[in-house]
A = this chain, B = another copy of it.
Amino acid sequence: MPSQSVPVPPVASAPLVPAISLRSDLTTQRSTRRVQLTPKYGSRACAVDVRYLWCGAPDAPTVIVQGGISASRDVLALDGEAAPGWWQTLVGAGQAIDLDRYRVLAIDWLTPADLSEGDAAVVSSEDQADALAALVDALGIGRVHAFVGYSYGAMAALAFAARHPYALDRLVLLAGAHRAHPLATAQRAVQRSIVRLGQDCGQPEQALALARQLAMTTYRGSDEFARRFTAAPEFRDGRFHFPVEDYLEQAGRRFVERFDVERFLALSESIDLHDITPEQVPTPATLIGFPSDRLVPLADLCELQRRLLGPATLEVVESPYGHDAALKESDRLAPLLREALM
């Protein structure tokens, strides 16, 4: 659940990465495919429309790339799109996840609304994995070269490897583990309670913005907050406003513009329900963790590494950016990703 860049951000906040001009010999599908799956919390199979992006060198091996719950299939921007993709700095022709060598496949996360043909009111990381596996099948991809997952994406990647091991050659997991940490669950449970309070009293959007504010306090490292927000509070509109508060309020407002309450509740809960047995995952894995990540403590990645059935390496990247390091430390992550995909 990272604080990803907004799909259509104001100009001032857009990262300084231009949308790449996709070469004409790269294949691109940005489409929807109907697949069948049986939701974990449902009792029967249902048809689901999966919105996906599949893009890269023709006939190249496919790499699945999935981010946090607020990420979309738009890992990178396509020609003519104003906004950069959420991992624009690492995915592209000539970049760490190189579209000259791979085809990248990504989906929009499913929500319970997508499962409406069935009877499941809850979506699981296993459902996301099954949807991806069915899509891989429907697109005739065969084996997937790698599943690169960040945050909730790492959870879905583990679920994919546990349930469809013969469809996948390797795992690359950034800041995500076999289960949510109970402290992180506590923080998300409060976020969901805020939103439900807002729904009860007719202020769902204001509550969603507040829940996002709380989420923002969990993404960055403690030292980064200390460095950025040293100024004195300002008295205005009848109360003191602290610099960090202005930052949070802006982030909350922007989130509401691009996310809705039900989607937030469902995907937030899905993170906390995630529970995979690492001993059932045979796929070779590269784990990447950040010591300043308070949402996914490094200790959880150490435990995951120890328990995975397949061989696993753990790369530790020092960064002030906490859980957001996967979005901020592109230069440090690029060589690790290149090596993990080899």
Measured CB to CB, the residues of A under 8 A from B are 122, 181-183, 185-187, 189-190, 193-194, 197-198, 200-203, 206-207, 210, 213-214, 216-217, 222-223, 225-226, 228-230, 232-233, 239-240, 242-245, 248, 269, 272-273, 275, 294, 297, 299
A182 touches B229 (CB 8 A): yes
A217 touches B187 (CB 8 A): yes
B193 touches A197 (CB 8 A): no
- Complex A-B, nearest 7 residue pairs according to Cβ-Cβ distance, in ascending order: A201-B201, A182-B229, A183-B225, A189-B245, A182-B225, A186-B244, A186-B217
The quantity of this chain's copies bound in the complex is: 2
The CA-CA distance from A93 to B272 in the complex, in Å, is 47
Majority-rule SS of A interface residues = helix
CB-CB nearest in chain B for A191: B214
CB-CB nearest in chain B for A122: B240
The CA-CA distance from A222 to B183 in the complex, in Å, is 6
The CA-CA distance from A297 to B222 in the complex, in Å, is 9
Besides A183-B226, A197-B203, A197-B210, 5 new A-B residue pairs in contact (Cβ under 8 A), listed by A number:
A185-B229, A186-B217, A189-B242, A240-B272, A240-B273
Please judge, given known A-B contacts A185-B242, A240-B269, A245-B186, whether A210 and B226 are in contact too, CB under 8 Å.
no
In the complex, 20 of the A-B residue pairs with CB atoms within 8 angstroms, ordered by the A residue number, are A122-B240, A182-B230, A182-B243, A183-B226, A186-B216, A186-B225, A186-B229, A186-B242, A186-B245, A189-B213, A189-B244, A190-B217, A197-B210, A198-B201, A201-B201, A201-B202, A201-B203, A233-B272, A233-B273, A239-B269
